[in-house]
Structure 1
Amino acid sequence: MNGFVIAGTASGVGKTVATLAVTRALEAMGQTVQPAKAGPDFIDPSHHAAIAGRPSRTLDTWLEGEDGMRRNYDRGTGDVCVVEGVMGLYDGNQSSTARVADVLDLPVVLVVDASAGMESVAATALGFREYAERAGQDIDVVGIIAQHAHGGRHERGIRDALPDKLEYFGRIPPISGLEIPDRHLGLQMGDERPVDTDALDEAAVHVRANRLLDIAREPPSLPAQEPNPARNRRVAVAQDTAFRFVYPAVIERLRARTEVVTFAPTMGDDLPDCDGVYLPGGYPELHAEQLANSPSLSTLSARASGGLPILGECGGLMVLAESLTTTNERTYSMAGVLPADVRMHERYQALDHVELRARAKPFGIDSATTIRGHEFHYSSANVASDATFAFDVRRGTGINGEHDGLTEFETVGTYCHAHAASGVFDAFIDSL
């Protein structure tokens, strides 16, 4: 599958809106778009999925390794893959947009803010291209999309200033309806507040989709990997407005190896009959009252004490704790499986790629095995003095700066979001 990367000069330059407008422009040409996102993110991909109608692939060399990332790209389906970058093109010392583009050998289209410039837009883009050349990096910056650019003289000034080595792929005009509301943890999800499709279509008219198709190319492919064997087991996955941060590759791995059933704790669902439970991250703090009264929490408590394997990530950890205190100082009882009291804060408590080392064979993972993932949370956990942890923190914050993976019975609750390529989910399935 051919593809290209939409990168930015910095965070907040409008990569997501540009990616969505490009997607609409390509779809108007009859192309099926496979969206993807560089770096660890759940929110931008939800907007991709809302517009493209298919899950967005996560591409991150830290989470997946280079071969794992290539294979994750290969598992996408469509005529063309549009990869949205993370932060600025060269930002991020673990898995920058530049590194993703380099590993996949994809061309880069740079989104440049043109709201107050013309020739300076070209100078900025040229600097980004020449930075790679002078640094000895094989990053192919092929052209730009001008964000917040008017037509007429403004557009002509930008196009005429571009050197021959940089192509003009169109503009995103400054029109209303392209804003994405934000809150803590970033933008609102695509199924909550999708970008107005009429506004995107208005912007898409100014995108040179045919030229983007011309520069797209296919990454080198890898030999197919032998799949892990399926098991006659059932995994219950929490899936509702409180539990929504899930990598598509994780669900794909669970479905390939087990029977997956979903349940919605905030809607009053009880825990279905199952051999294991996965509680992904999300926004439990926004639904604390519904969760506190959900029958699934008391069932989780009873099943956990009986030895049911449970994996909770971030929001899942919060729900497995004794209590959750929101920012308005209201405290709600949670499942009480893990000896911790969780509190929400106005400012984020951790944001980073993380690396963990296994301590006591959680889910059968050999001790000293390293696990990579990422963390981004506004909560902190006050744990009991005799708490047991599954992991030591080698990079990141974890639960207390030194440890992560609070564990009790066969339950593990961690602030780390892991990808399917990490091996965590295969170990979880094998433990069932």
Structure 2
Amino acid sequence: MRGFVLGGVSSGVGKTVATLSIVQALADAGYDVQPAKAGPDFIDPSHHEALAGRPSRTLDLWLCGEDGLRRNYHRGEGDVCVVEGVMGLYDGDGSSTAMVAEALDLPVVLVVDAKAGMESVAATALGFEQYAETIGRDVSVAGVVAQRAHGGRHERGIRDALPDGLEYFGRVPPNSALEIPDRHLGLEMGTEAALPTDALREAAESLAAERLADIAREPPAPAEPVDRPRDPVDATVAVADDAAFCFRYPATLERFRERADLVTFSPVAGDPVPDCDGVYLPGGYPELHAADLEASGTLTELGDRASEGLPVLGECGGLMAMSRSLTTADGDCHEMAGILPADVTMHDRYQALDHVELEARDGTVTAAAGETLRGHEFHYSSAAVDGDARFAFETVRGDGIDGEHDGLTEYESLGTYAHVHAASGAFDRFLESIAH
């Protein structure tokens, strides 16, 4: 599957809207499109999936490693893969957009905000192209998409100013309908605020879909075959799946289904905890649904089951739900599952944002003693833990729960602020730890 990367000149330049417009343009031109996201984000991929009708692939060197990155790419389906970048093209020391493009040997199409520039757009693009050589990165900038650019003289001025070797792939015109609402963790999810198809189709008409498809390249094959069979385990894993628990990577669910039986349930709706050998609570927005979670009874049942030995693995929002209480930014306190000896409080400003590395202190459900896991943390909450609380991990990089540790553990359960990818091996170990 051929692909290209959409890199921004900065955060907030409109990469997601440009990505969705290009996906629509390629689909309208008859291409079967596979979306993907550079970086560890969950929200932008939800918009990709809402439009493309298939999960967006997560491409992050820190989380997956180079071979895992290539494997995850090649698990996608379609004619053309459109990879949305993270932040600005060169931003980030763990897995920048440029690093992902280099590892996959894919060309970069630069998204430039053109609302107040013409020749300066060309100058910006030229600078981004030449900077790769300055820092020794093998990154090829093929051309630009002009975000918020008008037609006529504005468009001609941008196109004519581009030097040889940098192609003009079209524009995304200014349109208030092409604005995605945001909140504290970023944009609203694709299931909540999908962009209108007519507005995307209008933007798609100003994009050179065939030229974008022509520049796409096939990445190198991974060393480990994508379809290598993995040994099944005799286990059933229950995954929370609703508006409060919606941050999970497609590869995680794929691994669960590949090796075990998977069932889903909704704590917000009050579903009973399924008959299972282990529970996975992904991240999400439990703070937005705290009253419903408290009233539903599902978390109370989950706490009882965990105290009887049912393993529960929670990440970020899952950790929050596993705690004793959750206090929202409005000051309302709600009882949670009570599995972990912690009380969680929401804040107006984010408390941690980074790629992380964790070293297991003792054996736990996701890592053996001394093993390291790489992941990502981004949360607006903090957890006050009891003095005798037990931590599973030392933080080699990142903030974790208390600045030095992550992974609260109680009974057979574990809650972390870190999100990890299936390529880390953490979910394989979880499945093996709950198998009969």
Q: Does 1:299 align with 2:301?
A: yes
Q: Which amino acid aligns with 1:51?
A: L
What amino acid does structure 1 have at the position aligned with 2:64?
A: E
Query: What is the SS of the residue equivalent to 2:149?
Result: coil
Instruction: Provide the aligned length of Structure 1 versus Structure 2.
Output: 432
Q: Distance in 2 between matches of 1:360 and 1:45?
A: 34
C-alpha distance in 2, partners of 1:368/1:213? Answer: 46
Aligned-pair CA distance for 1:364: 6.6
**TM-score scaled to structure 1, two decimals?**
0.99
Unpaired runs of 5+ residues, structure 1, are none
Amino acid at match of 1:82: V
Q: What is the rounded CA distance, in whole Å, between the counterparts of 1:346 and 1:153 in structure 2?
A: 44
What is the Cα deviation at residue 134 of structure 1?
A: 2.5
TM-score under structure 2 normalisation?
0.98
SS across alignment from 1:389: strand
CA contact (8 A) 1:176 1:199 kept: no
Structure 2's unaligned 5+ residue stretches are none
* Aligned counterparts of 1:311 and 1:364: Cα–Cα separation in 2: 9
Q: Could you list the per-position Cα deviations for residues 59-109 of structure 1 after superposition, in whole angstroms to 9, with x for gaps in the alignment? A: 000000000000000000011100000000000011000000000000000
In 2, Cα distance between equivalents of 1:176 and 1:57: 28
Paired residue type of 2:54: R
By how many angstroms is 1:367 displaced?
A: 1.0
Aligned to 1:12: 12
Q: Is 2:67 aligned against 1:31?
A: no
By how many angstroms is 1:24 displaced? 0.3
Q: Secondary structure at the match of 2:399?
A: coil
Q: Which residue of 1 aligns with 2:386?
A: 384
Aligned partner of 2:285 among 272, 283, 286: 283
Identity of aligned residues (%): 67
- What is the CA-CA distance between 1:309 and the residue it aligns to? 1.2
> What SS is found at the alignment partner of 2:365?
helix
Offset at residue 414 of structure 1 (A): 0.4
1:63-102 matched pairs, under 5 angstroms:
63-102=63-102
Letter in 1 for 2:307: S
* Residue number in structure 1 paired with 2:2: 2
Once residues 270 and 329 of structure 1 are traced to their aligned partners in structure 2, the CA distance between those partners, rounded to angstroms, is: 28
Per-residue Cα deviation, 1:22-70 (whole angstroms, up to 9, x for no partner):
0000000111110000001000000001111110000000000000000
CA distance in 2, matches of 1:343, 1:132: 42
- The one-letter code sitting in structure 2 at the alignment partner of 1:106 is L
Q: Which amino acid aligns with 1:267?
A: A
- Cα pair 2:70 2:221 within 8 Å, conserved: yes
1:60 to 2:52 alignment = no
Letter in 1 for 2:360: A
User: Deviation of residue 387 (structure 1)?
Assistant: 0.3
Q: Could you tell me which amino acid in structure 1 is paired with residue 418 of structure 2?
A: C
> For the residues of structure 1 that align with 2:56 and 2:30, how far apart are their CA atoms?
19
Match of 1:144 in 2: 144
Shift of 1:235: 0.5
Between the aligned partners of 2:294 and 2:134, the Cα distance in structure 1 is: 57
Q: Secondary structure at the match of 2:101?
A: helix
Deviations 1:210-268 (A, max 9, x none): 00011001001124153321112110000001000010000000110111100001011
Render the CA deviation track for 1:347-368: whole Å, top value 9, x for unaligned. Answer: 1100000000001100272211
**Aligned-partner Cα distance in 2 for 1:217–1:102:** 12
Partners of 2:135 and 2:165 lie apart in 1 by: 18
Q: Which residue of 1 aligns with 2:427?
A: 425
Whole-angstrom CA distance in 2 between matches of 1:382 and 1:98: 38
Range with greater deviation from structure 2 (303-312 or 396-405): 303-312
State the 1:301 CA deviation: 1.2
Does the aligned pair in 2 maintain the 1:270–1:294 contact within 8 Å?
A: no
Secondary structure of residue in 2 paired with 1:407: strand
Q: In the alignment, what sits opposite 1:176?
A: 176
